Amino acid sequence: MTALHRGDIRTARRVVVKVGSSSISGENAERIGPIVVALAAAHGRGTEVVLVSSGAIATGMPFLLLDERPSDLATQQAAAAVGQNVLIYRYQEALRPFRIVAGQVLLTAGDLENPMHRSNARRAMERLLGLRILPIVNENDTVATHEIRFGDNDRLAALVGQLIGADALILLSDIDCLYTRPPDEPGAVPIDEVAYGDDMHGFEFGSVVVNSVGTGGAATKVSAARLAAASGIGVLVTSADLVAAALEGDEVGTWFRPNPLPSAAPATGPIRTAVDTLGG
């Protein structure tokens, strides 16, 4: 089987797209519209699209009269319970003109680790896609504990890609691509492509950032991209503003080449952060 190239995304059979909280919450909630337009175009071409969307807590915060992300778990869970409902409504309203129905799928890490739960999740996702439903996946923040405090949905998106045998994974960010070091630092150079197995020695990525609405950062995206690429999934990291171009297979973002022999995929190693070393 020939490994997927960036330009092949347009004709890929199955694509997972992940969008973060900061891209679709608060004053950026209006960006849901353009993102949905791009997803609908790919869906209309026959691509099976799965959206992994963060944003439940951030969306729920205003309804709880919160100005910043709550620090205690119970309030985070309450915000997620309110926000998930509103978030799915916003997506469905944006999808309505295209006559596309969304299907909500909430998962925890345990669901993907337990063989029976994993099998059930795969069967449900396959059926949704077979019915031409657009699954919208999120961490089940109302009951989750670890992921809600420390993680990000980048890893969840990679695991969903593995679960359903996706051809490509698009991780949407606030910047156009990855850089050799934080882009606001002198000497930062954009990374166009990462070959499979490249240990990215000498690159620096900021550690996980917790901001007023969510968690994440370049480090989590690199880690998730390497996890998915090891399974034979091509991964593109780019800006949410470039989602249409990404789904068209244009030369945007940072492309992680997939493992050409995914059945023999090695475990991915650690990545370099501001304080950690990558590749030794």
pLDDT one-digit tens code per residue, 187-208:
889 999 999 988 776 676 654 4
Annotated binding site for substrate: 54, 141, 153
pLDDT one-digit tens code per residue, 103-142:
999 998 778 888 999 999 999 999 999 999 999 999 887 7
201 lies in a domain? yes
125 lies in a domain? yes
219 lies in a domain? yes
Its domain, for residue 113, covers 6-264
Say yes or no to pLDDT of 272 above 50: no
DSSP string of 68-129, one letter each residue: S--SSHHHHHHHHHHHHHHHHHHHHHHHGGGT--EEEEEE-HHHHHSHHHHHHHHHHHHHHH
Structure tokens that stand for 181 in this block: 């070091």
275 lies in a domain? no
136 lies in a domain? yes
276 lies in a domain? no
The domain that contains 237 carries what CATH number? 3.40.1160.10
Annotated binding site: 18, 54, 141, 153, 173-174
Say yes or no to pLDDT of 213 above 80: no
Number of domains present in the structure of the chain: 1
279 lies in a domain? no
Annotated binding site for ATP: 18, 173-174
269 lies in a domain? no
Q: Enumerate residues 6+ apart whose C-beta is below 8 A from 271.
A: 200, 205, 219, 222, 223, 226, 278
